[in-house]
Structure 1
Amino acid sequence: MNLESPKINVSKSPQEVFDFLSDVKNFETLMPENISKFEVLESDKFLFALKGMPEIILKKKEAIAPNKITLGAAGGKLDFSLIANIDGVSETSSEVQLKFSGEFNPMMAMMIKGPISKFIETLATSIPNAI
């Protein structure tokens, strides 16, 4: 299953956006209002939970400055990745798009597609105000 957020314009350079998203503790400021738990476990790993959902642990798997950051599931039964693509529009402006990719059985995919789509859209649209 592959999902994409809308492309979001950010009034910051690609490097500034990359630096912000590289620090996993900053993801707390991007989370939706229904977050029930957020905890930084290591410098590159954090745990979060949304109300009514199981806890998810994400770990930074790849960082290619200033254009791409990949977070992946760290443990648990689901294997997926969340990729932030950062494109420079100008020296002081960027475009960010989040992509979610995971292998799920059809029943699981049907159940999580809506909530995950809404989640990555919330993360992406929160970036311009958080930086």
Structure 2
Amino acid sequence: MKLESKKTIVNKSAQETFNFLNNVENFKALMPENISKFEVLDNDKFLFALKGMPEIVLKRKETKEPSQIVLGAAGGKLDFSLTANITELEANNSEVQLLFAGEFNAMMAMMIKGPISKFIDTLAENMPKAV
């Protein structure tokens, strides 16, 4: 299953946006209002939970400065990635799009597609204010 967020304009350079997203602690500022738990576990790993959902641990897997950061599931039953693609538009403007990719059976994919789409859109929508 592959999902894409809307593209979001951030009034920061690609490098500044990359630096913000590369610090996993900053993801707390992007989380939806219904977050029930957020905890930094390491300098490249964090745990979060939304109300009514299981805890998810994300770990930074790969970076391509200043254009891409890949986070992946760190343990748990589901294997997926969340990629932030950052494009420089002007000196102080960049565009970010989040991509979610995971292998799920048809039943699981049907159940999680809506909530995950909403989740990555919320992360993207919160980015201009947070960065």
Smaller-chain TM-score range?
over 0.9
Partner of 2:103: 103
Mark the runs of 5 or more structure 1 residues left unpaired by the alignment: none
Give the superposition deviation at 1:74. Answer: 0.1
Counterpart CA distance in 2 for 1:58 and 1:120 is 14
Counterpart CA distance in 2 for 1:122 and 1:61 is 22
TM-score normalized by the length of structure 2: 0.99
Partner of 2:41: 41
* SS at 1:52 equivalent: coil
Q: How does 1:1-131 map to 2 (within 5 A)?
A: 1-131=1-131
* SS at 1:85 equivalent: strand
* SS at 1:32 equivalent: coil
* SS at 1:20 equivalent: helix
Counterpart CA distance in 1 for 2:67 and 2:113 is 26
Amino acid at match of 1:118: K
Counterpart CA distance in 2 for 1:30 and 1:93 is 18
Counterpart CA distance in 1 for 2:25 and 2:10 is 19
Give the superposition deviation at 1:123. Answer: 0.2
Counterpart CA distance in 2 for 1:44 and 1:125 is 23
Amino acid at match of 2:37: K
How many corresponding residue pairs?
131
Amino acid at match of 2:69: I
Poorly superposed stretches of 4+, deviation over 2 Å? none
Deviations 1:75-126 (A, max 9, x none): 0000000000000001110000000000000000000000000000000110
Amino acid at match of 1:71: L
TM-score normalized by the length of structure 1: 0.99
Aligned residues with identical type, % of pairs: 69
